[in-house]
Amino acid sequence: MNALFYISAIVAVISTLLVITRANAVHALLYLIVSLLSISLIFYLFGAPLAAILEVIIYAGAIVVLFVFVVMMLNMGPQTLVQEQQWVRRRVWLGPSILGAILLAELIYITMAGGGHTTTARVIGIKAVGLTLFGSYLLGVELASLLLLAGLIGAYHLGRRKFHRTVSRGTS
């Protein structure tokens, strides 16, 4: 069972690395789906089946589809690929990558210093999660609904065409 975890972890890291290095946005999105599916498998191995299901449905389903629709609406031609390769040069990615690697090394050191726990993962089913979610976290659920409403109204307001013209005329 441990081999499954390590295989999906390696797949997740490689596909995430490919996501942040691709020039084509659609290729990056497809690699992101692979990364999300492997993380979903890790959730299942950690005894969290509800999180695994929601990872597939909401992340790999809804959010990636939103990204694909926006990439389609922007209608970028082949010249953007060349432009993208010019934007990401060696001297551009070298500095942030070194700084990120230093932070990651510190993080791994701190995590390892805490002692290697090998815990037996107990499956926490959907019923237990639901009981806790609508019990002690009921206020959080209400706040999440408010957040989603705000996101809906914000996306509708910002998504209208020629929004900036009407505003600039209205205020000036």
Partner 1 sequence: MMISLPMTHGLILAGILFALGLVGVLVRRNIIFMLLSIEIMLNASGLAFITAGAQRGDPDGQIMFLFILTMAAAEVSVGLALILQFYHRFKTLDADAADRMRG
Question: Which residues between 32 and 71 bind partner 1 (CB under 8 A)?
Answer: 32, 35-36, 39, 42-43, 45-48, 50-51, 54-55, 58-59, 62-63, 66-67, 70-71
Which residues within the stretch 126-155 sit at the binding site for partner 1 (CB under 8 A)? 128-129, 131-133, 137, 140, 144, 147-148, 150-152, 154-155
Taking CB under 8 A as the criterion, the residue among 5, 7, 27, 166 binding partner 1 is 5
**CA 141 centroid distance within chain:** 21
3 binds partner 1 (CB under 8 A): no
Kindly report the length of the chain.
172
DSSP output for 56-86: IIIIIIIIHHHHHHHHHHHT--THHHHHHHH
Give dist(CA 19, CA 26) in Å, integer.
10
Taking CB under 8 A as the criterion, the residue among 25, 30, 33, 56 binding partner 1 is 25
72 binds partner 1 (CB under 8 A): no
* Closest separation in Å from C-beta 145 to partner 1: 9
Which residues within the stretch 101-130 sit at the binding site for partner 1 (CB under 8 A)? 101, 103-104, 107-108, 111-112, 114-124, 128-129
Give dist(CA 166, CA 157) in Å, integer.
12
| Residue among 55, 50, 54 at smallest CA distance from 8 | 55
* Closest separation in Å from C-beta 169 to partner 1: 15
26 contacts: CB under 8 Å, gap ≥ 6: 68, 71
